[in-house]
Structure 1
Amino acid sequence: MKVLVPVKRVIDYNVKVRVKADGSGVDLANVKMSMNPFDEIAVEEAIRLKEAGKAEEVVAVSIGVKQAQETLRTALAMGADRAILIVAADDVHQDIEPLAVAKILKGVIDEEQPGLVIAGKQAIDNDMNATGQMLAALLGWSQATFANELDIDGDHAIVKREVDGGLQTIKVKMPAIVTADLRLNEPRYASLPNIMKAKKKPLDEKTADDYGVDVSPRLEVVKTSEPEARKAGEMVPDVDTLVAKLKEKGIV
């Protein structure tokens, strides 16, 4: 079985994001970029399936700017076998929207014919949480979102998923789309020898036009602003005063 893993290049989660002075977006100048954390978890899960003998090949795919090569090399260093970069933008500030990403991924899947797609549940830059679901709809495949555990049983995937009330276990027929949640696993660090080996692994480059997909934005960002600063708290001498204050503010 072949496993396909889409990965996205985003601002590193340790970086404090800065908004441009004119409010037109986020400042990416001299900012460290890395693989989306949920996608990193997806790559790790695919590699574990291969190590367990349940997958023969892991293919990483990224859609965006040429610089996403670095993200794919990280996936290759972790253990993916090969990578595909679809160049769909020249400007690092252009975010390819989920529907366009899903359409391009469908084209890749039609070519690669994987038995399973493992994706991060969402990207930390736009938090849309939509690509996996859209891709499943376009393909007509089974889907299991917010995966907490994943096991392969013949031609079915057994997925324990996180829901509002706790955990839910479902069994879906493969081929399927699975989106990884935070507690699915803990991604490994790429060792120096594997980083060196990754440079020799195949990385194919294509464009969105190769798949006949228009990546023009459907959404317009009107304004980007910093969240409001949290107001200072107020100390109260006792519980009665606290309750009185809460009543006064209409909280209780």
Structure 2
Amino acid sequence: MKVIVAIKRVLDYNVKARVKADGSGVDLANVKMSMNPFDEIAVEEAVRLKEKGVITEVIAVSCGVTQCQETLRNAMAIGADRGILVECVDELQPLAVAKLLKALVDKEQPGLIILGKQAIDDDCNQTGQMLAALAGLPQATFASKVEIADGKLTCTREIDGGLETLSLTLPAVITTDLRLNEPRYVTLPNIMKAKKKTLDVVKPADLGVDVTPRIKTLNVSEPPKRGAGIKVPDVATLVAKLKNEAKVI
């Protein structure tokens, strides 16, 4: 059974984001980029399923600029067997990514598609759900435990009231949460091996997908700086300030 794992190249979580001077977006010039942490968990889970013998091939897929090849190589160093880059110049929105993944699902016919629950740059948390809807596949989001047996996928997910266990028929779509696993450390020998693995590059037009943006970003700005706190002498003063100045009560 094949597994497709979608990964995204994002601003490294250790880097402080800077807004462009014209307010058109986040400045990505000369900053460290890395694999989205949730997607790294997705790759690790796919590799673990392969090591258990329930998966035969792990295909890493990324949609974006040419530099995404580095991110795909990193996924192959973790254990993915091959990579596919859907090369795009413009910034992709979740619906466009879902349509591209749907086209690849139709082509590759995987038994399972794994995505990170969200990307740390836009926090949309939409692509997995959109893909499941477009492909007409069952889905389980925010997975904290995944097991496959007898052609069924059992997924444990965290909800407000505790834990929920779902049983899905394959093929299916799952999105990963932080507690699912801890990605392994990538070793130098595996990095060298990844350079020899197959990496295919296609264009959205090759897949027959229109990636024209549906949403226009009007302005991007940094959050306002937090003001200094004050001390109040008693509870009555605190309540008065919350009511008259903050207007929260």
Shift of 1:153: 2.1
Deviates more, 1:149-158 or 1:27-36: 149-158
Q: Which residue of structure 2 lines up, in the alignment, with residue 153 of structure 1?
A: 149
Residue of structure 2 aligned with 1:162, choices 132, 152, 158: 158
Distance 1:71 1:109 in 2: 20
Query: Quick one: distance in 2 between partners of 1:169 and 1:187?
Result: 23
The answer to whether residue 55 in structure 2 is matched with residue 55 in structure 1 is: yes
Task: Please state how far the C-alpha of 1:164 moved relative to its aligned partner.
Answer: 2.5
Q: Which residue of 1 aligns with 2:21?
A: 21
Match of 1:115 among 107, 111, 114: 111
How many pairs are equivalent?
248
1:204 and 1:161 map into 2 onto residues whose CA distance is 33
Paired AA for residue 15 in structure 2 = V
Given candidates 121, 126, 132, the residue that maps to 2:128 is: 132
The answer to whether residue 219 in structure 2 is matched with residue 230 in structure 1 is no
1:68 lines up with 2:68 in the alignment: yes
Bigger drift between 160-169 and 120-129 goes to 160-169
| 2:42 aligned counterpart, secondary structure | helix
Query: Where has structure 1 moved over 3 Å in runs of 4 or more?
Result: 236-252
Partner of 1:214: 210
SS in structure 2 opposite 1:136?
helix
Q: Deviations over 1:170-226 (max 9, x none)?
A: 111110000001111111121011011110011111111111111111111100000
Q: What SS does structure 1 have at the residue aligned with 2:84?
A: strand
Shift of 1:246: 3.9
- 3-state SS of the aligned residue for 1:55? coil
- Tell me the distance in 2 between the aligned counterparts of 1:247 and 1:87: 54
- Aligned-pair CA distance for 1:138: 1.1
Query: Helix, strand or coil: the match of 1:103?
Result: helix
Aligned to 1:87: 87
For residues 163 and 244 of structure 1, the distance between their equivalents in structure 2, rounded to whole angstroms, comes to 37
Q: Counterpart amino acid of 2:200?
A: D
Q: Which amino acid aligns with 1:42?
A: A
Q: CA deviation at 1:168?
A: 1.2
Alignment-mate amino acid for residue 163 of structure 2:
L
Q: Which residue of 2 aligns with 1:192?
A: 188
Task: Structure 1: state its 5+ residue gaps.
Answer: none
Q: Secondary structure at the match of 1:66?
A: coil
CA deviations on 1:40-76 (whole Å, 9 max, x unpaired) are: 0100110110111111111100011111000000000
Identity between Structure 1 and Structure 2 (%): 65
- 3-state SS in 2 of match to 1:183: helix
Name the TM-score, length of structure 1 as normaliser: 0.94
Residue of structure 2 equivalent to 1:201: 197
Q: Distance in 2 between the 1:79 and 1:41 partners? A: 12
Deviates more, 1:73-82 or 1:146-155: 146-155
Which ranges of structure 2 fall in alignment gaps of 5 or more residues? none
* Corresponding residue of 2:8: 8
Q: Which amino acid aligns with 1:104?
A: L
- Please state how far the C-alpha of 1:148 moved relative to its aligned partner: 1.0
RMSD of equivalent CA atoms: 1.5
CA distance in 2, matches of 1:41, 1:237: 49
- Tell me the CA shift for residue 251 of structure 1: 4.1
Indicate the SS of the match to 2:27.
coil
Deviation at 1:242, TM superposition (A): 4.2
Q: For residues 171 and 114 of structure 1, what CA distance do their matches in structure 2 show?
A: 18
What is the CA–CA distance in structure 1 between the aligned matches of 2:161 and 2:217, rounded to whole Å?
A: 34
1:9 positional shift: 0.7
